[in-house]
Amino acid sequence: MDLRFSPADEQYRLKFRAWLEANLPSAEVPADPDAAFAYQRVWQRKLYDGGWVGIHWPKAYGGQGATLVQQAIYAQETARANAPQPANILGIMIVGPTLIAHGTEAQKKRFIPKILNADEIWCQGFSEPNSGSDLASLQTRAVLDGDEFVVNGQKIWTSLGQYADWCILLVRTDTDAPKHRGITYLLVDMHSPGITVRPLKQITGHAEFNETFFDNVRVPRENVVGDINEGWRIAMTTLTYERGISSLATQVRIKQHLTAMIEYARKTRSNGKFLAQDPVLRQALAEAYIRVEMMLLNLYRGITKRLRGQPPGPEASLDKLYWSELDKWLQELGMSMQGPFSQLMHDSPHAIPGDWQYSFLWSRAGTIYSGTSEIQKNIVGERVLGLPKG
């Protein structure tokens, strides 16, 4: 494992850090979700004008052709600066790279520029009420009628569906073929007649994702990515990008949270003593510190392996399992440190500032999206430990 960054990479870090310092919005992200989304859109436009969106995309498609290490630096610096997330996060992370790999020239020309500048927002219509972990069992049907598909069915957990202009949609086009072989990957205009988007309110009080219903929605045949019934292969590309390098940003964010917790323990008294004097809590915070550093080293090990030309392997599952379970544990520790105050939501006038309640509730999501913890354990068991299939 190589822990050093080259002088050229350090220069890249300084350049991006300076750009962020000069351009970060001075106003806080608004509390209202719609206003927050508009704010993220403005921020993405600014990143775009500076050449800092989709840096891992090839230059020919508006990216920087950034190396793996530059992507790692980008992730670390955005988290360190607490930069807002760009509005079109799914477009940048998964849709653009999938289209670059598998789209037709016409599709690339039509869609790619508007992903980068946030003119068109994208969502991902993969999961269904009965198809999540077992995604290939999906039931949303598409039947070819002349030059158009007619789509009927339901998707669920569609993040950003309420803002999206376009959707990458997995549909069943052959009901007789084995389940992985009868799926097609479509690009669907979310403003088409027959689409209904219903928000799902979460335990956090926000509604980031939706149920999406398709009722005789017509989609031009030219909006197929790859070939008809070849959608599973394309979807696998999308999912590979979804489990990309962003864990480095997560590591910085988790570390920032731990630093805030340590600070809180130093200055908060309970039963006449500072929390930081409690030996049990001290042990827990020390363990947290070690686990957060281990996360970074594991991520660097994965990057080093790829820099040596080895393909990404099942360690992506180990990383995902590790950080999502670590975050959940750490957030629970944060709640226990606040004692009875942990019961107050952040908008209560008596709540301890810092929004820990929100991040505690949200940490559940990390163990579900992009493959649940149980699914990651299955992958690690089968592909790393060589255990028999469950």
Ligand X SMILES: Cc1cc2nc3c(=O)[nH]c(=O)nc-3n(C[C@H](O)[C@H](O)[C@H](O)COP(=O)(O)OP(=O)(O)OC[C@H]3O[C@@H](n4cnc5c(N)ncnc54)[C@H](O)[C@@H]3O)c2cc1C
User: Counting beta carbons within 10 angstroms of the beta carbon of residue 83, is it exposed (0 to 12), middle (13 to 18) or buried (19 or more)?
Assistant: middle
Q: Which residues on adjacent β-strands are paired with residue 199?
A: 210
Phi first, then psi: give them for residue 369, nearest 5 degrees: -70, 160
Q: Are strands 141-145 and 273-274 parallel, antiparallel or unpaired?
A: unpaired
Q: End-to-end alpha-carbon separation of the chain, Å? A: 33
Q: What is the contact surface with ligand X in residues (CB under 6 A)?
A: 123-127, 132-133, 157-159, 209, 365, 368-369, 372, 374-375, 378, 390
Of 280 and 385, nearer to ligand X (C-beta) is 385
Cβ-contact 366, 324 below 8 angstroms: yes
Of 24 and 239, nearer to ligand X (C-beta) is 239
Shortest Å distance, C-beta 260 to ligand X: 23
Token pair 């028999």 in the structure block, residue: 388
Shortest Å distance, C-beta 100 to ligand X: 20
Of 293 and 332, nearer to ligand X (C-beta) is 332
Distance separating alpha carbons of residues 58 and 65, to the nearest angstrom: 4
Cβ-contact 219, 142 below 8 angstroms: yes
Shortest Å distance, C-beta 327 to ligand X: 13
Shortest Å distance, C-beta 10 to ligand X: 34
Of 20 and 169, nearer to ligand X (C-beta) is 169
Shortest Å distance, C-beta 8 to ligand X: 36
Shortest Å distance, C-beta 126 to ligand X: 3
Phi first, then psi: give them for residue 104, nearest 5 degrees: -75, 165
Q: Which residues on adjacent β-strands are paired with residue 39?
A: none
Shortest Å distance, C-beta 262 to ligand X: 28
Q: Which residues are catalytic?
A: 242
Cβ-contact 148, 220 below 8 angstroms: yes
Q: Which residues contact 340 (CB under 8 A, 6 or more apart)?
A: none
Cβ-contact 189, 214 below 8 angstroms: no
Q: What are the CA-CA distances from residue 223 to residues 73, 128, 167, 218 (Å)?
A: 35, 21, 11, 11
Kindly report the length of the chain. 390
Shortest Å distance, C-beta 179 to ligand X: 14
Report which secondary-structure segment, H or E, holds 145. Answer: strand 141-145
Of 70 and 237, nearer to ligand X (C-beta) is 237
Q: Taking the CB of residue 5, how many other CB atoms lie within 10 A of it?
A: 15
DSSP string, 51-105: T-SSTTS-GGGTS----HHHHHHHHHHHHHTTPPPPTTHHIIIIIHHHHHHH--H
Q: Write the DSSP symbol of residue 384.
A: I
Of the candidates 43, 200, 203, the one whose C-alpha atom is nearest the C-alpha of residue 127 is 200
Of 132 and 226, nearer to ligand X (C-beta) is 132
Q: Which residue is nearest to ligand X (CB)?
A: 132
Of 64 and 247, nearer to ligand X (C-beta) is 247
